[in-house]
Amino acid sequence: MHPIVKLVAQRLALGILLLFAASVLIFAGTQILPGDVAQSILGQSATETTLANLREQLGLNEPAVTRYFKWLFAALHGDLGTALTNGADIAESLGKRLKNTLFLAACAAAVSVPLAITLGLVAVRFRDRWPDKLISAATLATISIPEFLLGYVLAWFIAVKWGWAPSVAMISDSMSLAEKLHAVALPVAVLTMVVLAHMMRMTRAAILNVMQSAYIETAELKGLSGLEVIRKHALPNAVAPIVNVVMLNLAYLVVGVVVVEVVFVYPGLGQYLVDHVSKRDVPVVQACGLIFAAVYIGLNMVADIVSILANPRLRHPK
């Protein structure tokens, strides 16, 4: 077997193992939450008999291990159960929200990743001169401002004052792609500002690191122009750390944007999770936890595999 196939297979297996470990943690975490699920559903109207009936109905009388494997087995078959609060099918309602979250994350990534890498390259090319300083100052400023404030300021100018884009970024299936893109313009702008600096600084640092190497000097002596040297020789050798930080930010765009969702009234997964946590709707919280863990593990695995593939020593073994 080609060693690279073996390495990738190992990574995949490790990722799946990690996901199982995460599922154990999520299940255990929701079990030690204070309060009994049956009690929190019934609230004030709880009596001994209704409590006992509901516990029986929810299978709460079985040992935790049995319940865990039942839950896991159902989840692997795509059955995430029904929400305790409104009896909705979790897979269905969560699916809709996840689609929205992924759409927003994809739009934000499509803008921010190329922009961050380009700005990083430009910053290296003009290192320590005004373009570098301007880029650093601007991106550090936007990452330092809390995202809700950025959101309100943009909403005030762009939505209220000038009317270019809506401040309520509500999307629905009946909208065309162009309408959806217009609707999410403001949240995408805010998210871009929030993640730009991290990726840009990492790109700059990784490439600068490579720029010290002897082969860069050789390339310069060959007579290549500054940007050509960076693009052809420095960037390919700096891919691994850049991909890592890009994946980290993509994961953030999927699981960590609840504040932006609230400010722009975006129907994403974060708001869905928060609503159900406050009502102690455990099955929904477990399902969301599983999705978030899968996103994190999956994206990190992609980063690992890309770094492996980007390493010529692993690609062409002796």
Partner 1 sequence: MSEKIEYLKRRVAARKMSRREFVGRATAMGVSAAAAGTMFANAAQAAGPVRGGTLKAGLSGGASSDTLDPALVASEATHGILRTWSDTLVNVSRDGAVVPRLAEEITSSPDAKTWNFRLRKGVEFHNGKTMTPEDVVATIERHTGDEAKSGAQGIVKGIESMAIDGDIVSITLSQANADFPYLMADYHLAIQPNGGKDDPNAGIGTGAYIIESNEPGVRTTFHKNPNDWDPDRGYADNVEILVINDATARTSALQSGQVDMINRVDPKVAGLLDRAPNLTVKNVSGRGHYVFIMRIETDEFVNNDLRMALKLAINRQEMVDKILRGYGSVGNDFPINAAYPLFDDTIEQREYDPEKAAEYYRKSGHDGSPIILRTSDAAFPGAVEAAQLFQESARTAGIPLEVKREPSDGYWSEVWNVKPFCTSYWSGRPVQDQMYSTAYLSTAEWNDTQWKRPEFDAMLIEAKAELDPARRKELYSKMAWMLRDEGGLILPMFNDFVDAISTRVMGYEDDPNGELMDHFAMQRCWVEG
Give the binding site for partner 1 (CB under 8 A): 42-43, 45, 47, 50, 83, 85-88, 93, 96-97, 152, 155-156, 159-160, 163, 166-168, 170, 172, 262-265, 267, 271-272, 275-276, 278-279, 281, 284
In 3D space, the residue among 239, 220, 238 whose CA is nearest the CA of residue 229 turns out to be 220
Task: Give the residue with the Cβ less far from partner 1, 109 or 282.
Answer: 282
CB 184 within 8 A of CB 216: no
Question: CB 280 → partner 1: shortest distance, Å?
Answer: 10
Task: Give the residue with the Cβ less far from partner 1, 50 or 218.
Answer: 50
Task: Give the residue with the Cβ less far from partner 1, 161 or 318.
Answer: 161
Task: Give the residue with the Cβ less far from partner 1, 97 or 233.
Answer: 97
Question: CB 70 → partner 1: shortest distance, Å?
Answer: 23
Residue whose token pair is 């993509």: 250
In 3D space, the residue among 121, 147, 145 whose CA is nearest the CA of residue 252 turns out to be 147
In 3D space, the residue among 283, 253, 212 whose CA is nearest the CA of residue 26 turns out to be 283
Task: Give the residue with the Cβ less far from partner 1, 9 or 88.
Answer: 88
Question: CB 112 → partner 1: shortest distance, Å?
Answer: 23
- Would you tell me how many other CB atoms lie within 10 Å of the CB of residue 282? 22
Side-chain-side CA neighbours of 291 within 13 Å: the count stands at 24
Q: From residue 184, give the alpha-carbon distance in Å to each of 150, 188, 272.
A: 15, 6, 18
Task: Give the residue with the Cβ less far from partner 1, 14 or 170.
Answer: 170
SS (H, E, C) 121-145: HHHHHCCCCHHHHHHHHHHHHHHHC
Question: CB 185 → partner 1: shortest distance, Å?
Answer: 13
Residue whose token pair is 């030690």: 32
Question: CB 39 → partner 1: shortest distance, Å?
Answer: 13
**C-alpha angle 96/57/49, rounded to 5°?**
130
Question: CB 152 → partner 1: shortest distance, Å?
Answer: 6
